Structure 1
Amino acid sequence: MRLKSKIYLYSSVLFAALLAAACISIYLLFEKMSLDAESLRFEIEAELTAERISESASRTAPDDLLRAYAPADGMLRVVQPDGTSLARPVTASEDTQLSERLSSEPYAYTASHAAERLSSGGKGYIRVSVPVIWPDGEVLSVQVSRSIADIEDRFDVLKTVLVIVALLALIPAVLASTVLANRIVRPIAALTGTMGDIRRSGRFQQIETGQRPGDELAEMGRTFNEMIGLLEGNFARQERFVSDASHELKTPLTIIESYASLLKRRGKDRPEVFDEAVDAILSESVRMRELTERLLQLARSPEADRLEIVDTDLSESAGESARAFMRAYGREIEVEALRPVFVRTDAAKVRQLLFILLDNARKYSEDRITLTVTGGGDKPAELQVVDRGIGISEEELPKVFDRFYRVDTSRTRSTGAGGSGLGLSLAQDLAQALGIRIVMKSEVGEGTAVTLHFPPAETADRGGERFRRDILPARGRWSRSEEGGESP
């Protein structure tokens, strides 16, 4: 059974059951209250009748006495302790059948006050027994029986009315169940239809449930849209990775293949060709490795790259990054940091970002590189990387963060390997993930300055923690000696 049919069926049955329970409760409550009220009224009338009979018993014959006080719709009799009637029972009802039923009622002596509901021939009546002292001193039971046919007729009318009302109330209930089922199933049907469209067309789509925020169905639609956005992003990254890899790896592979063929043909006979081919193959291999690493980093899902936000000393991170970079490339790096500057960020991602900027500065300049840390306290933290290379023209500056954009025609590099154009794009992604704003300023022939503006955060209280000068001097410069050692 479909969900819509289940909701329609279950809600209709539940409403019908609740309506039936309400109608039955109303009927039973009304019946009990009416019978209790009628029984009380009959008891009061029976006590008055018994009192009058007791007062007149010494002056009037029993048969005449009963005829005088017989109820219009019932029977009156006086029962002796031995179970016989003092006089012939008297019925004053015009209903012959009722009179016959009441007259045929067996005698039963009751020494105490009692009221009971009886039924005979499908008709109900109430009998009230009242003990009286007869003039001869004997205690007799005056029994007054009254028909409750009128009340039972009202009960039948009420029963009919409740049944009709229940049937009429079921009509809007059924319609409401239909509306409810359609309202609940609509976003689910939209979800199913959207998934079917995605499967057939291969294009990612989102749904609009039309539900108010906070509703479970709206939450389902929002979660589905977030999932679709995540899948679309992952799919786009995969497509971009395949496209970028096929586009960028084609050139170095072609160069390697060409020089390998040249080596095979002439490498043994011509040493100069051998040296040229090996250098080119090595250069392209390094470039391909760097390109592959950058492509894999860019293809990673942001959700898979969890941030570990901790209190980080930018001065210390800058010093460690400069030392590691100097060891790797032997370039002179000057670090300017007058005091510790703490921020709340991911230290590993900041170092990765610094390595990208330092590597970019290394490729496009031969002079020293300056790394400056400022801010802290009430001032926003900033970290700046400055190279003294040929610089970037004003027209090309807005494009440097685009994927695969290179300005090789205007910037010379000291390295033989060509850049992939992915470094600054990856740096931009890392900065966005960390909430860092990147500002780049450059002048042709003067150099380039890249400034990282860190978001304001509550500065951690470091107490009297000493700043480790063995890691980072207040103002230092690192260089590598010819023997391969390090000297500050």
Structure 2
Amino acid sequence: MIKFKPTKISHRLTIIYAILFFVALAMVNFGTLLSVNYYINQTSAQQIQMVGQTIINDVKSLNDIPKIDLKKFSQIANNVDVSLIYNNKIIYNTGEQYTLQETDSKDVGKVLTAESGENKIMYLNDTLTLDDGARIVIQIVKDMDNEENYVHALAGIMLFIDGFVFILAIILGYVISRRALSPIDKITNQAKQISASDLSARIQIDGPDDELKRLSETFNDLIARIQYSYEKQNRFTLDASHELATPLAVIKGYIDVLDRWGKDDREVLNESISSIKVELANMTALLDMLLFLSKGDNEIYKIEKTKFWMNDLIKELIKESNLIDEKHNIFCSTFPQFQIVGDRRLIKQMLRAIVDNSIKYSPEETKINIEYSALDNTAVVKICDEGIGISKEDLTHIFDRFYRVDKARSRSIGGSGLGLSLVKWIVDIHKGTIKAESEIGKGTKMTAKLPLGI
């Protein structure tokens, strides 16, 4: 037994379509009944008119009552009653006599309808005057009882068919809707199996490339993005915890040293305080960078775009970098002049991060060359160093947060693995691209492309 629940889509669709189908079928049947009834009435009226015209023509041709062949009328008066009234006397009648209201002069010769008892009749009253002045009234009546019974029987059959088809439509509609919507149940059941602890499951829908399959594909894409974001966030949290754990452990160690010997040994005291300051500075820089990237991820940070000269920015970068680091030769051979629209502070921070990375991983007395140009409405900046290089395996990960090619070396020189992540974010927010090319022992080339936006 089918139990309908209006909260289910399949049940609502079944009821709606069954009602619509029933209403449409009822309207068609009603129209059919009207057409049949109209056809019967028209046919009966034509029959009455034909019989009446035949009698009138015969009477006119003879023009004499005694010569009228009354038997001939019975042959043509099939299913109708004919009465001839002469001088208020019925001289001929083929069937039942009907008492009818006197016909208005404007309705003489027209087929009319009336009620005779419980039956409906159609009749025609006509008057004919002979040459001798004699007046003959011709009355033709057709009992519509059989036709009415036929229409009523047809209506009953159609009503039965409507009810039967309505029930059939509910059953078939339920089966079809269940089959059509079964993939949704499958999607729902499979979606319930996907949890935060296991986002690797995917919805599998077989069949044609229809709306439901595209829905499952869209849902899978959504889960894939959620999985990527979840894993990225989880990895970020673990890496951040790990990065913060190291300086905290160092600080704790120096505090223990101070607690044991710092009160009596001035050298231990100074060394411990100096080391704690360094670790606190590293932690502060790390937290500042994490906060900056977090604002970018949550779209809290708003870039402030202005138009500025690229050559002025490059000159500032080279001058400041050489002041900070005197052990490397940071230079630019030519300074082409062109303007760019962007966040000047962020773009400078992005270029400085690349230069700082080159400084950290390049031997002393080596060169760091900066080249820039404007090409096809794009600013292209290349920074090349003569550092230790990066392997092909590591190149695909250098822009990931907390990723470091040499973890021990990076920590010893103060690297957090966030510098190039920051570079990538700044480039992306300006709708640009960043590419790294490197060989072990031969150095690294970073190429950043930013739209001029002018």
TM class by shorter chain equals 0.7 to 0.9
> Which residue is 1:75 aligned to?
81
> Which residue is 1:438 aligned to?
435
Task: Give the letter for the 1:385 counterpart.
Answer: I
> Which residue is 1:249 aligned to?
244
Give the alignment's Cα RMSD to 1 decimal.
Answer: 4.3
1:281 CA displacement: 1.0
Whether 2:359 is the aligned partner of 1:359: answer no
> Which residue is 2:3 aligned to?
none
1:147 CA displacement: 3.5
Residue 90 (structure 2) aligned to one of 71, 87, 92: 87
- Deviation string 1:270-314 (CA, Å, 9 cap, x unpaired) is 221122112211221122233334445666775738997989878
- TM-score, length of structure 1 as denominator length: 0.72
1:31 CA displacement: 1.8
**Aligned partners of 2:219 and 2:296: how far apart in 1?**
18
Whether 2:109 is the aligned partner of 1:113: answer yes
1:171 CA displacement: 6.5
> Which residue is 2:257 aligned to?
262
**Aligned partners of 1:348 and 1:219: how far apart in 2?**
44
Contact kept, 8 Å, 2:372 with 2:381, in 1: the verdict is: yes
3-state SS of paired residue (1:60): helix
- TM-score, length of structure 2 as denominator length: 0.77
> Which residue is 2:385 aligned to?
387
Moved more, 190-199 or 69-78: 190-199
Distance 1:400 1:360, change over 3 A: farther
Aligned positions, number: 437
Task: Give the letter for the 2:373 counterpart.
Answer: T
Distance 1:449 1:130, change over 3 A: same
3-state SS of paired residue (2:332): strand
Correspondences of 1:19-418 after superposition (within 5 Å): 19-56=25-62, 58-60=64-66, 68-70=72-74, 71-78=77-84, 85-87=88-90, 90-92=93-95, 99=96, 103-111=97-105, 112-120=108-116, 122-137=118-133, 140-148=136-144, 151-152=147-148, 154-155=150-151, 158-159=154-155, 162-163=158-159, 166=162, 169-170=165-166, 173-182=169-178, 185-198=181-194, 203=199, 205-208=201-204, 215=211, 221=216, 224-296=219-291, 304=299, 315-316=310-311, 318-319=313-314, 322=317, 326=321, 329=324, 333-340=330-337, 350-365=347-362, 366-367=364-365, 369-374=368-373, 376-377=375-376, 382-388=380-386, 390-392=387-389, 394=391, 398=395, 401=398, 403-407=402-406, 417-418=413-414
- Deviation string 1:62-89 (CA, Å, 9 cap, x unpaired) is xx76565242322222458xxx943156
1:43 CA displacement: 1.3
Contact kept, 8 Å, 1:78 with 1:87, in 2: the verdict is: yes
Task: Give the letter for the 1:265 counterpart.
Answer: R
**Aligned partners of 2:304 and 2:162: how far apart in 1?**
64
- Deviation string 1:367-412 (CA, Å, 9 cap, x unpaired) is 564321135149x753212334x52365776477164324266x6x
Task: Give the letter for the 1:254 counterpart.
Answer: A
- Deviation string 1:315-371 (CA, Å, 9 cap, x unpaired) is 348527616954994667423444246789876764443232122123334556432
Task: Give the letter for the 1:315 counterpart.
Answer: M
Task: Give the letter for the 2:385 counterpart.
Answer: D
**Aligned partners of 2:439 and 2:35: how far apart in 1?**
92
**Aligned partners of 1:339 and 1:193: how far apart in 2?**
62
| Seq. identity, % | 19
Distance 1:230 1:121, change over 3 A: farther
Task: Give the letter for the 1:51 counterpart.
Answer: N
Moved more, 302-311 or 257-266: 302-311
**Aligned partners of 1:370 and 1:266: how far apart in 2?**
49
**Aligned partners of 1:322 and 1:257: how far apart in 2?**
37
Task: Give the letter for the 1:424 counterpart.
Answer: L
Contact kept, 8 Å, 2:311 with 2:336, in 1: the verdict is: no
> Which residue is 1:486 aligned to?
none
- Deviation string 1:414-433 (CA, Å, 9 cap, x unpaired) is x9652123333454566567
**Aligned partners of 1:328 and 1:187: how far apart in 2?**
67
**Aligned partners of 2:282 and 2:344: how far apart in 1?**
27
**Aligned partners of 1:293 and 1:327: how far apart in 2?**
24
**Aligned partners of 1:387 and 1:362: how far apart in 2?**
8
Contact kept, 8 Å, 1:336 with 1:372, in 2: the verdict is: yes
1:269 CA displacement: 2.4
**Aligned partners of 1:230 and 1:400: how far apart in 2?**
19
Contact kept, 8 Å, 1:369 with 1:386, in 2: the verdict is: yes
> Which residue is 1:2 aligned to?
7
**Aligned partners of 1:272 and 1:170: how far apart in 2?**
99
